[in-house]
Amino acid sequence: MFDAERRLVLCNQSYADLYHVPEPLTRPGTPWIDLMRFRIAAGLYAGHDPEKYVQQLTETIDRAERTVSLVELRDGRTIDLIHQPLPGGGWLATHHDVTDLRRSEAKISYMARHDGLTELPNRILFRERAEEALVEMRRDGSKIAFHCLDLDHFKMVNDTLGHPVGDALLKEVAARLKQVAREGDTVARLGGDEFVIIQTAVDQPVEATALAQRVIDGLSAPYVVDGHGVMISASIGISIAPDDGIDADQLLKTGDMALYRAKAEGRGTYRFFEPEMDARMQARRFLELDLREAVVRQQFEIYYQPLLNLDRGEVSCFEALLRWHHPTRGIVSPGEFIPLAEDIGLIVPIGEWVIKQACLDAASWPGSIKVAVNLCPAQFRNARLLSTIVEALDISGLPPSRLELEITETVLLANSQATLSMLQHIHMLGVHIAMDDFGTGYSSLSYLRSFPFDKIKIDQSFITDAGDIDSSVAIIRAVTSLGNSLGMQTTAEGVETVEQLERVRREGCTEAQGFLLSRPLPARDIPAMLERTRAVVAGEIIETEPETSGERDTDKPGRRRSRASVPA
């Protein structure tokens, strides 16, 4: 703490230990500039001009502004510095060593963006690279090509030689793809035996043809994997931007259509997308008309999937999941209509209905059981969001503490300051906020430091892989540890086996959610389900009838949620 004359009033031993400050400089009355000169002389600062840094701090002091910054020290430590002006002059400076948290964040970020088997960029990093390439394309007027490929008859390798050989083959394939791709192009594994290459600066189609042929030739050469001789080929579908699409989703769709044609015409070859392959686009237009009609005729229903508190063995929350009862098709998959609702601007009115209906349903549940509703970026751009929440709570009589809103990091990216301000207002109502899909997007310690989230939900992809891939277990452990250190609950999504349940319990997750515990239920079935499970102890399975639709809530087209409520 410093007074208006920039003299030290007091400092604790932690500050002295952090910067190795000698005792005479920690005495009251020491000029602030003397402490700064000591730290500069000790060579603590890295990566910037120390004198310029002092000048910036001086300007901050003169303006009496509150600031939060991260300072990198030469020895590799990262210090979180909060400068808080005091009434009447002077300021309070708080220095916190966040090195371990930053390293954990970096580790989580890397593992979340790279495939655990091949170490290629995964779907998340692929989308980031795709967006960068598309921005560059729009800026310089060039074209880019998406090469969507998978291995022909790869399942036969797994079935005949076993999954370890199949995994080893995928590693070899990844290595060959990196060899044939140009520097600057992105080779990513989307899952299974599906890969995609982003080829930038494509002036002529022949350049895409040349790369596709190099891939086919390179992958068709014989392999020796764990002593087994293996032969395999690849089929490729090529889409060109902007001709065949202007965003990653469109280019993947058109590339997949071309890939389907390549497989249908004999495999081991490539095909470019052609407009006549676009029958799906016609179907999408019809679906849009039906969706608009569904909003008018209220053809939606909310199903609820329970979250189990692993300490008490009790249902602590239900997540709201939207269903569309189509008059002729039956139940339409959320993965099909929610992205469409986002694209055509219907997600806000649908989301408002979900918030209000979920609160009404939850008000009839016993005890302190919460209801969780997903929010998407479009809702945060809507000025009615806060009033919608207040109205839903008032009409239903549901205590704010029993409403939980789930957001993904894409919500924060849309407009960080405005979004954080909205979250603060929502939190002041007493509503809980959960960070959904943590570890799959742009997870940043800065988000968790900027806003006091109540819960972190670990994406189901890590839970699914926890039994086979060490990096997924490491992510679960790291996120759980991070949540504990920040006083946040952690929920494991997508738990489908007893082994997964025991794994997340051992790693310290506070809640679990997934088909092992219960499938989503219509609101009318919840009282009976709760009655049946009053005596359930931690770890037991909640028995429910299967959904008639057969749809799973694990579908996540791209980074979009197939959740209900305002799917994001």
Answering whether pTM is above 0.85, one says no
Structure confidence at residue 198 (pLDDT): 98
Structure confidence at residue 416 (pLDDT): 62
User: Residue 256, Cβ neighbours under 10 Å: how many?
Assistant: 20
Distance between CA atoms of residues 91 and 2, nearest Å: 5
pLDDT by residue for the chain (568 residues), tens digit each? 999 999 999 999 999 999 899 999 999 999 999 998 888 887 777 666 777 878 888 888 888 888 888 888 888 888 898 989 999 899 999 999 998 888 888 888 889 899 999 999 999 999 999 999 999 999 999 999 999 999 998 988 887 788 999 999 999 999 999 999 999 999 999 999 999 999 999 988 899 999 999 999 999 999 999 998 999 999 999 999 999 999 999 999 999 999 988 987 888 999 999 988 777 667 778 899 999 999 999 999 999 999 999 998 899 999 999 999 999 999 988 888 998 898 788 999 999 999 999 999 999 998 899 999 999 888 887 889 999 999 999 999 999 999 999 998 777 765 567 778 888 899 999 999 999 877 655 555 666 766 778 999 988 888 887 666 677 788 888 888 888 888 899 999 999 999 999 999 999 999 999 999 899 999 999 998 888 776 443 345 454 444 444 444 443 333 343 344 333 2
Residue 548 to residues 302, 335, 496, 533, 544, Cα–Cα distance (Å): 14, 17, 18, 22, 12
Structure confidence at residue 272 (pLDDT): 96
Per the CB < 8 A criterion, the answer to whether 207 and 164 are in contact is no
Closest by CA position to 436, among listed 330, 522, 341, 564: 564
Residue 469: alpha-carbon gap to chain centroid: 19
Structure confidence at residue 449 (pLDDT): 67
| CATH, domain 7-103, list 2.40.160, 2.60.40, 3.30.450, 1.10.10 | 3.30.450
Beta-strand relationship, 228-230 and 194-199: unpaired
Structure confidence at residue 280 (pLDDT): 64
Distance between CA atoms of residues 316 and 306, nearest Å: 7
DSSP state of 120: S
Annotated domain spans of the chain:
7-103, 114-273, 283-532
Closest by CA position to 169, among listed 144, 152, 187: 152
Side-chain half-sphere exposure of 381, counting CA atoms within 13 A: 12
φ, ψ for residue 35, nearest 5 deg: -65, -40
Residue 394 to residues 56, 128, 352, 359, Cα–Cα distance (Å): 48, 41, 14, 9
Distance between CA atoms of residues 413 and 310, nearest Å: 32
Structure confidence at residue 60 (pLDDT): 83
CATH number for the domain running over 114-273: 3.30.70.270
| CATH, domain 283-532, list 3.10.129.10, 2.40.50.140, 1.10.8.50, 3.20.20.450 | 3.20.20.450
Residue 502 to residues 361, 496, 518, Cα–Cα distance (Å): 31, 11, 16
For residue 228, the one-letter residue type is H
